Amino acid sequence: MISILGKIALSLQTFRSHRLRSFLTTLGIIIGVTTVIAILSLIEGLNRTVAEQVQALGSDLIYIQKFTWISTGHRDLDKLAERPDLVPADAEAINQLSSVEIAVPTISRQLSNLRYRDEEISNVSVAGSNENYSYVNNYLVESGRDFTRDDITHRRSLGIIGSYVAANLFPDESPIGKDLMVEGHRIKIIGVFKEKGQFLGNSLDDFVLIPNTVFEKFFPRSRTSLFARVYGGYSIGVKPKTSDVEKTLDDIRELMRRRHGLGFDKEDDFELNTQQMLMDLYQNITRVGFIAIVAIAAISLVVGGIGIMNIMLVSVAERTREIGIRKAVGASNQYILSQFLTESIILALIGGIIGIGFGMLLAALISTVSPLKAAVSFWMVLLGFGFSAAVGIFFGIYPARRAAGLNPIEALRYE
């Protein structure tokens, strides 16, 4: 039998004699594949960025809070407000669990004001916790020192600041040993955290950490608003000892239920939040986007495929005499079929290749003008190829069969 190379050569020759027509025919495929590649690579890039950030945050942490991070539907704040506050004693108890490495209570307030001499910054958060906070949350004290147990128990008015605060209030001098006004309360800075970057667009460095005992003294718990009652209290961050997070979750749940005196028939009055839950939620959201994109792309590929089918039917009609001559001198139906099929597949593949190129270009372009980072994977290129080849076969088979089925005598007479 004749080699596939011969058929490909003949196809390319045909396209050369109909350059504009061939290009216009592939336009649908080009646009479809360009869209798929560009958007998939942006989603992939976003996924990688988020995954990296969660990794940096310490993805295995468990947070015990009154509220869940991931709510489905309406949140009944009245009910949440009635739940008992979490307290540092809970953290102490959880610390005793064999599956827990360390548990740390943290309480915080947002939108606070910091002042050093005449310099002032607002919109930073103040967190109250203990000497284990930095370890559990992956913070490193870059200069100065961390808290000690004594700092906490003796309610020393000390603070460790994030790198954002250091850079903005102390651009030219060391913050260590300086007095900082936190909402009008004086603390002495003993350390600076190493920069940690951002998570989902939020800076992780614009805060000041003080002992939770001092926090309680400075900012007595307000119970006036529903919001404060739900979100204002302690949350307890737990670093599990083993990689078996489920076991740790079970242990904590059991312990907390006992501490809150809940019977068998009572629901939990606390929530266990993990960063994995956030990751799962995020991936669910992007998966929906992913499916939507694929659906849109499929539509444009179908449109492109119909374009190919249309032009192949025109081509078959135009070349009826040629088909007759070829059949007369011995071309089999099979040969004619595969010749036309090769043409439609190559048309679609050329569209696919151009689309992959444009898609990568578009993704790169979006990467440079926006904070989104594109990442083109090999599987996307394969997907682009596979899609366009499938379109070429699916929409090429009917015209090709029509060409192959032509009666040689009628085809020879065709003018």
Partner 1 sequence: MMARNRVICRAVDVTKRYWRGKVAVDALRGVSLEIKSNDYVSIMGVSGSGKSTLIHILSCLDTPTSGEYYLEDKLVSNYTDEELARVRNTFFGFVFQSFSLLPRLTALDNVALPLIYAGTKKQDRILRAQEILEKIGLGDRMSHRPNEMSGGECQRVAIGRALVNNPRVIFADEPTGNLDSKTGAEIMEILDRLVDEGNTVVMVTHDSSLAAHAKKTVKLKDGMIEND
Q: Residue numbers of the site for partner 1 (CB under 8 A)?
A: 1-2, 6, 13, 17, 321-322, 324-335, 408-409, 412
Nearer to partner 1, 6 or 197 (CB): 6
Tokens matching residue 81: 């407000």
CB 106 within 8 A of CB 133: yes
- Min dist CB 315 to partner 1, Å, is 13
CB 308 within 8 A of CB 364: no
- Min dist CB 332 to partner 1, Å, is 4
Nearer to partner 1, 167 or 412 (CB): 412
How far apart (Å, rounded) are the C-alpha atoms in residues 130 and 155?
A: 11
- Min dist CB 410 to partner 1, Å, is 10
- Min dist CB 308 to partner 1, Å, is 21
CB 133 within 8 A of CB 127: yes
Nearer to partner 1, 3 or 98 (CB): 3
Nearer to partner 1, 324 or 351 (CB): 324
Nearer to partner 1, 105 or 324 (CB): 324
- Min dist CB 404 to partner 1, Å, is 9
- Min dist CB 2 to partner 1, Å, is 6
Q: Mapping DSSP to helix (H, G, I), strand (E, B) and coil, where does residue 302 land?
A: helix
- Min dist CB 22 to partner 1, Å, is 15
Nearer to partner 1, 210 or 404 (CB): 404
Nearer to partner 1, 295 or 329 (CB): 329
**Cα-based torsion angle of the residue sequence 156, 162, 168, 170 in order, rounded to the nearest 10 degrees:** 50
Nearer to partner 1, 1 or 111 (CB): 1
Nearer to partner 1, 303 or 397 (CB): 397
CB 45 within 8 A of CB 372: yes
Largest interatomic CA distance in the chain: 106
How far apart (Å, rounded) are the C-alpha atoms in residues 348 and 158?
A: 68
How far apart (Å, rounded) are the C-alpha atoms in residues 399 and 415?
A: 19
- Rg of the chain over Cα atoms, rounded to whole angstroms, equals 33
- Min dist CB 309 to partner 1, Å, is 23
Nearer to partner 1, 17 or 224 (CB): 17
CB 86 within 8 A of CB 234: yes
**Cα-based torsion angle of the residue sequence 370, 373, 377, 381 in order, rounded to the nearest 10 degrees:** 0
CA 349, 351, 352, 357 torsion-angle sign? positive
How far apart (Å, rounded) are the C-alpha atoms in residues 208 and 162?
A: 6
Q: Residues 6 or more apart from 68 whose CB is under 8 A from it? A: 271, 273
- Min dist CB 15 to partner 1, Å, is 12
How far apart (Å, rounded) are the C-alpha atoms in residues 405 and 415?
A: 18
Tokens matching residue 231: 């979100």
- Min dist CB 312 to partner 1, Å, is 18
DSSP string, 33-66: HHHHHHHHHHHHHHHHHHHHHHHHH-TT-EEEES
Residue at 153: amino acid letter: T
- Min dist CB 325 to partner 1, Å, is 5
How far apart (Å, rounded) are the C-alpha atoms in residues 162 and 102?
A: 22
Nearer to partner 1, 97 or 311 (CB): 311
